A and B are shown apart, each in its own frame.
Chain A
Amino acid sequence: MVALRVWLSDPSPSSRGQARLGQFWLGWLRLRRNPLAVSGLAIVGALLVIAAFAPVLAPHDPLAQDLSRRLLPPFTPGNLLGTDDFGRDILSRIITGSRITLYIVGLVAVTAPFLGLLVGTVAGYFGGWTDAVLMRITDIFLAFPRLILALALVAVLGPGIENAVLAIAVTAWPPYARVARAETLTVRNSDYIAAVRLQGAGVPRIILGHVVPTCLPSVIIRVTLDMAGVILIAAGLGFLGLGVQPPLPEWGLMISSGRKYLFEQWWVSTMPGLAIFIVSLGFNLLGDGLRDVLDPKSAPK
């Protein structure tokens, strides 16, 4: 362990890999000093672990119905968080539902920022007509409220988890394009870009190798902060019955189906609601903490 730490903090790394890992190590040390960020990381980490081991962790089958055990309150022996209107164990459904949440969040996280980065960097680097056209397209997407646009898309494409992901991704990319474009504009005239142009580099190399790495921290921070929003939109779609379909234990869907029992059997909706709250909070805290770590202004000169 100590040897690893020494290797990571070596001021003169002897390979590209060691240099990069060393930077991650320093970033981790910085993140660790922020207790809120660490709790965010812990929550996200817990989500990952629970999703990975869901079948093992869930005490009951999330889809097994037992109508003799309907609507039992929390702390009933055998059902820590109670049961829903079909007698299914809520805890098991939440645990299994974490996989769905992670699936949606993960897919959106790899598609939307990617598209946004591409559009934003190209628009920012070329300027002129390219910039104008691309940004107007971005503006059109931004003009729609996210949930409405997602709803419209799902209504056209039909319900289902993949369509929900597609709908969310389509509405999520514009802010990344904006962020990427803003960073590109700042960076475009800097000396190191001028230097590599002077070396005869082509545009793809400049954008992919030089501009994108500079935009990446802002985009990463944006992604983590956006995750909370993505979860809520997925929950919203599920609530309206347009995303994930029953009997899959998606958290939004669980809240929706518990609506009828909100006043007396509050736990049916509230437990999944709490899960959404905690995970969203975790992503938000992590995003804030990452911003402090990745913000170039706080990096040593």
Chain B
Amino acid sequence: MSLIEIENLTVTFRSNGQTVRAVEGVSLKVRAQESYGLVGESGSGKSTILRAICGLAPISGGVIRLGGKTIPTPRGRDFARLVQMVFQDPYASLHPRHTIDRTLSEPLAIHGIPDSDTRVMRALDDVGLPRSFRFRYPHQLSGGQRQRVAIARALMLEPGILLLDEPTSALDASVQAEVLNLLNRLRVERGLTFLMVSHDLAVIDHMCDRVLVMQNGRAVEELAREELAGAKMTTAYARSLFDASADRMLGDVEGPHA
């Protein structure tokens, strides 16, 4: 049974008399504990799908179901305990005037969950941050550290589904490796389901079991990881994305190994 089902989703933005169809007729199914990727360039609508799931983008057509049930509008508090999101920009996703402690204990306060002290400390341990960071402000942390806090925050309510919007694209390569490793470890430890967005095909290949290629709001092609690695795509666009990532192949200069 699919945990996340999206059927024919359409998202339309209206501003200043102009209508923009950010997502058009996209369907996908994510199984429980699977890691599913959305890849595309800017304007492909991949991030908009995540926002539509969260209720941050207006749905003008189609249905989104979680665990078989259509998601309610407005999303409600129970939704928060099911789905959480990690945002792209570590410099913008933490409130600049709240300490890390406040940022992490807030979801607990909203839902009336006790023992916030212990839980906050445990969360810091889980993402590999020293406990001494507890009362720091975001501007005292590096990009990678902030992203770890964002991940810890997303996991405070123990959701089963994690939406990841380009979680490492604003980070340095070495820090990206650490954060990706952390995400993978957490996914295995907690049995999470990931729906992950990226423009980087190599990151998607490393993290995801299946991937949907998107362009201009439409779904182009769905690939399993083996198909992606083996360059077995059938559409021209997917192939052009693959070719543009030439320097991300295993073996570098000689080209991909079969």
Are A and B co-members of a single complex?
yes
Query: B139 to A205, Cβ gap below 8 A?
Result: no
Q: Which of A11, A194, A195, A200 has the most CB of B within 10 A?
A: A195
Residue A78, interface by CB 8 Å: no
Which of B96, B98, B106, B132 interacts with A199 by CB under 8 Å? B106
Residue B235, interface by CB 8 Å: no
B91 contacts across to A, CB distance below 8 A: 301
Query: B99 to A210, Cβ gap below 8 A?
Result: no
Q: In the bound complex, how far is the Cα of B130 from the Cα of A196, in angstroms?
A: 24
Query: A16 to B101, Cβ gap below 8 A?
Result: yes
Within 8 A of B (CB), among A8-35: 11-16, 18-19, 23
Residue A192, interface by CB 8 Å: yes
A213 contacts across to B, CB distance below 8 A: 95, 97-98
- The residue of chain A having its C-beta at the shortest distance from the C-beta of B140 within the complex is A11
Q: In the bound complex, how far is the Cα of B130 from the Cα of A257, in angstroms?
A: 67
Residues A191 and B137 in contact in the complex (CB < 8 Å), given A196-B106, A198-B84, A200-B79: no
Within 8 A of A (CB), among B92-110: 92-99, 101-102, 106-107, 110
Within 8 A of B (CB), among A105-122: none
Which of B93, B101, B111 interacts with A192 by CB under 8 Å? B93
Query: A191 to B87, Cβ gap below 8 A?
Result: yes
Query: B153 to A200, Cβ gap below 8 A?
Result: no
Within 8 A of B (CB), among A255-301: 296, 299-301
B186 to chain A, nearest CB (A): 18
Residue B133, interface by CB 8 Å: yes
A199 contacts across to B, CB distance below 8 A: 80, 84, 106-107, 110-111, 157
B13 contacts across to A, CB distance below 8 A: none
Q: In the bound complex, how far is the Cα of B26 from the Cα of A254, in angstroms?
A: 75
A18 contacts across to B, CB distance below 8 A: 135
Query: A12 to B110, Cβ gap below 8 A?
Result: no
Residues A200 and B136 in contact in the complex (CB < 8 Å), given A191-B89, A213-B97: no
Residue A76, interface by CB 8 Å: no
B133 contacts across to A, CB distance below 8 A: 12
Residue B17, interface by CB 8 Å: no
B76 contacts across to A, CB distance below 8 A: 200
Q: In the bound complex, how far is the Cα of B98 from the Cα of A190, in angstroms?
A: 15
B140 contacts across to A, CB distance below 8 A: 11
Q: In the bound complex, how far is the Cα of B93 from the Cα of A14, in angstroms?
A: 23
Residue B85, interface by CB 8 Å: yes
Residue A218, interface by CB 8 Å: no
- The residue of chain A having its C-beta at the shortest distance from the C-beta of B157 within the complex is A199
B136 contacts across to A, CB distance below 8 A: 11-13, 19
Residue A65, interface by CB 8 Å: no
- The residue of chain B having its C-beta at the shortest distance from the C-beta of A299 within the complex is B139
B20 contacts across to A, CB distance below 8 A: none
Chain B residues engaging chain A, CB cutoff 8 angstroms? 54-56, 75-77, 79-80, 83-85, 87-89, 91-99, 101-102, 106-107, 110-111, 130, 132-137, 139-140, 150, 153, 157
Chain A residues engaging chain B, CB cutoff 8 angstroms? 11-16, 18-19, 23, 190-192, 194-202, 205, 209-210, 213-214, 296, 299-301
28 CB-based A-B contacts, threshold 8 Å? A11-B136, A12-B130, A12-B132, A12-B133, A13-B135, A14-B135, A15-B135, A16-B99, A16-B102, A16-B135, A19-B137, A23-B137, A195-B85, A195-B153, A196-B106, A198-B83, A198-B84, A199-B80, A199-B110, A199-B157, A200-B76, A200-B77, A200-B107, A201-B106, A201-B110, A205-B110, A210-B95, A214-B96
